[in-house]
């Protein structure tokens, strides 16, 4: 059948919302999956952006087609559209519109939700509006129906918590409880490289990607490649990594450079300097003193700290807000509010404003484009009167380029750790201090060993996310494209083109880079105390869970997996006080609320458009 050129506008709108959904996926889910590594200080936020981009695309392109098939055909049966490709295009466009709009709003307000379940709920809502509730696959449907998918809502966090807690307890019993844990950490590191490398390899080879044809290989081939690759990585780590880290943390040789790992076993015979009395390793403590700024200084408050396009506040805005503070007794008398409560509220606002002011002052000192943008916004505040005042129009012309620049670059310079730990003197800061005090701190030399392991586990988790969650956006988009390009509703059963996987995986990376800080600041250390040994356990536990679900073509929320893993490892401290259950409760509320809200938005939109009166 010919291409449906009369529905070009539907395809264009669907493409826009597919990319918006992928952008939100990166800003919400991917940011959450990398929050563990950044929170543990194993890698910086910028390094997470680079590695996330690479491994998200690898996972999406090589493995991602399987989960996309579930989104395409597992919830609404293809026969329900009665061979009408136009209605099919409209249905999945409305689903993308409803899901992406909801997740975008949540990301903007730092509310962590599951983009996976948002889209699934939206597709179900559209199905009800289009063909009726009876045609939607509410049951198991061979593992592809809503019953199977939503089963993961309860199973995934619990399973992930179990895997992560098991791995961390293994590290704890083998290494952390020893009187001298550093040698134990060094000599057992290859085993954890073996586990991480095996998981990553298994995700590619087991059942394989349809485009690579690996699913047709015999079982012995799959086992041989998987164990061979994992064993090879473990062997390489024993030859190159163990001597390198042995020289750094056991011999305390501060003259060893990163590139010297190529020397391998020769580093065992390298003499350490006579004054080598302390290992030159980073400080992995969550809360660290900054001589230029107190450690309690956080970046701006949720909702105000984002200098996203259209919402960048200059320092003069903060100053004006503090200068025009009303008289407290008069305000208390006017609103019949206790004076003590008002003073507490005012103090809290001042603390938040001071944190924002100090952070933006640092940004204005930078030499790059972001420094220019922040200085421009600071030096050109909007004047009195409406926006159409001539002076304000001139000011706005100067501010718009700066707003766009800050929106693109603000996240790269965001102080994630300060935002997670909270501001001293506020309820959040006091709560996080109680959580951190309940967690045992381990030597930096030991944590340094696991920081290398965590880099591999983080890449594994990112690969797993690309393999699983790319189906969220590419599944509906593939249906829209197939119906538009071929003029047949049945074409949605075809394989997802690789170019669509590549485009949306790149869009996911853009979301992580430009807007991921909105979610990362409320995850990681905001739930429990992080360190490289803890973080690597969390990521391996979550990656195993995601890959197990992915191999059965079940879309599962990576966010829920890493959150469950975080709670599981946090409980390994031996007390409930080590976990911020208030944050966990808020996460669960947002997860549950996503199902009816996203489904209602998409269903109502589809119902209005499909049944709108026309000539």
Angle, CA 43 vertex, CA 40 and CA 47 arms, to 5°: 145
- pLDDT at res. 314: 38
* Residue 523: per-residue pLDDT: 87
pLDDT digits (tens, 9 = 90+) for 376-410: 999 999 888 888 888 889 999 999 999 999 888 88
Which spans in 26-114 are helix H? 31-39, 45-63, 65-73, 85-108
Q: Which of 243, 208, 240, 210 is nearest to 222 (CA)?
A: 208
Neighbour-count burial for 326-351, b at 16+ CB within 10 Å, e otherwise: eeeeeebeeeeeeeeebeeeeebeeb
Nearest to 65 by CA among 481, 491, 461, 499: 499
The 10s digit of each residue's pLDDT in 196-254 is 788 777 766 654 555 556 666 777 887 888 889 999 999 999 999 999 999 999 999 98
Q: CA 368, 369, 375, 378: dihedral to nearest 10 degrees?
A: -140
CB atoms within 10 A of CB 221: 12
**Cα torsion for 565, 568, 571, 577, to the nearest 10°?**
60
pLDDT score at 132:
81
Q: 485-527 pLDDT, tens per residue?
A: 888 766 556 667 778 888 888 898 899 888 888 888 888 888 9
- The arithmetic mean of pLDDT across residues 556-568, rounded, is 86
Tell me what the mean pLDDT of segment 81-108 comes to.
89
**What's the chain's average pLDDT?**
80
| pLDDT, tens digit (0-9, with 9 covering 90-100), for 419-451 | 877 776 777 888 888 999 999 999 999 999 999
- Looking at per-residue pLDDT, the higher value among 553 and 570 belongs to 570
44 vs 412: CA distance, rounded Å: 10
Strand partners, 246: none
Average pLDDT (17-43) is 88
User: 293: which DSSP letter?
Assistant: B
Q: For the residues 122-129, what does the mean pLDDT come to?
A: 88
pLDDT digits (tens, 9 = 90+) for 334-350: 344 443 444 445 466 77
């Amino acid at each position: 059948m010919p291409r449906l050129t009369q529905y070009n506008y539907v395809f264009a709108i669907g493409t826009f919302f597919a990319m918006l959904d992928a952008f939100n996926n990166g800003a919400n889910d991917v940011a959450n999956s990398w929050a563990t590594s950044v929170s543990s200080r194993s890698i910086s936020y910028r390094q997470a952006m680079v590695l996330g981009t690479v491994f998200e695309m690898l996972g999406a392109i090589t493995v991602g087609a399987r989960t996309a098939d579930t989104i395409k055909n597992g919830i609404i049966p293809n026969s329900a559209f009665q061979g009408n490709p136009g209605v099919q295009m409209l249905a999945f466009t409305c689903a993308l519109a409803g899901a992406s709009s909801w997740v975008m709003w949540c990301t903007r307000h730092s509310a962590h939700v599951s983009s996976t379940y948002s889209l699934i709920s939206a597709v179900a809502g559209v199905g009800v509006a289009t063909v009726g509730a009876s045609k939607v696959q509410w049951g198991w449907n061979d593992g592809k129906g809503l019953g199977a998918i939503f089963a993961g809502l309860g199973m995934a966090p619990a399973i992930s918590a179990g895997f992560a807690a098991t791995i961390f307890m293994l590290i704890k019993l083998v290494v952390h409880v020893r009187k001298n844990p550093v040698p134990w950490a060094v000599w057992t590191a290859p085993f954890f490289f073996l586990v991480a490398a095996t998981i990553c390899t298994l995700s590619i080879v087991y059942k394989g990607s349809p485009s690579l044809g690996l699913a047709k290989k015999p079982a012995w081939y799959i086992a041989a490649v998987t164990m061979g690759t994992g064993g090879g990585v473990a062997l390489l780590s024993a030859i190159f990594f163990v001597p390198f880290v042995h020289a750094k943390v056991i011999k305390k040789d501060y003259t060893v450079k990163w590139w010297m790992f190529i020397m391998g076993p020769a580093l065992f015979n390298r003499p350490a300097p006579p004054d080598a009395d302390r290992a030159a390793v980073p400080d992995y403590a969550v809360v660290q003193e900054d001589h230029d700024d107190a450690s309690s200084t956080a970046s701006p408050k949720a909702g105000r700290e984002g200098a996203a396009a259209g919402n960048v506040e200059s320092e003069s805005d903060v100053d004006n807000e503090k200068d025009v503070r009303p008289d407290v007794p008069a305000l208390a008398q006017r609103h019949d509010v206790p004076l003590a409560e008002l003073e507490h509220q005012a103090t809290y606002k001042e603390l938040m404003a001071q944190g924002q002011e100090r952070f933006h002052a640092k940004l204005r000192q930078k030499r790059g484009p972001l420094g220019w943008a922040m200085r421009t916004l600071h030096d050109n505040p909007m004047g009195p009167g409406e926006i159409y005042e001539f002076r304000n129009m001139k000011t706005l012309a100067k501010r718009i380029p700066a707003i766009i620049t800050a929106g693109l670059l603000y996240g790269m310079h965001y102080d994630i750790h300060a935002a997670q730990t909270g501001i001293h003197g506020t309820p959040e800061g006091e709560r996080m201090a109680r959580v951190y005090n309940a967690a045992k701190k381990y030597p930096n030399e030991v944590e340094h060993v696991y920081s290398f392991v965590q880099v591999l586990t983080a890449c594994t988790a990112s690969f797993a996310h690309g393999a699983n969650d790319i189906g969220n956006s590419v599944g509906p988009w593939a249906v829209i494209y197939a119906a538009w390009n071929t003029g047949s509703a049945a074409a949605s059963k075809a394989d997802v083109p690789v170019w669509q996987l590549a485009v949306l995986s790149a869009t996911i990376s853009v979301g992580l880079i430009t807007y991921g800080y909105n979610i990362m600041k409320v995850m990681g250390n905001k739930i429990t105390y992080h360190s490289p040994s803890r973080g690597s356990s969390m990521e391996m536990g979550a990656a195993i869970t995601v890959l197990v679900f992915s191999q059965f073509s079940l879309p599962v929320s990576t966010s829920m997996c890493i959150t469950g893993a975080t709670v599981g490892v946090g409980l390994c401290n031996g007390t409930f006080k080590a976990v911020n259950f208030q944050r966990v409760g808020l996460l669960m509320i947002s997860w549950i609320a996503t199902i009816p809200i996203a489904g209602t938005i998409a269903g109502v939109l589809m119902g209005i458009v499909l049944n709108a009166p026309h000539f």
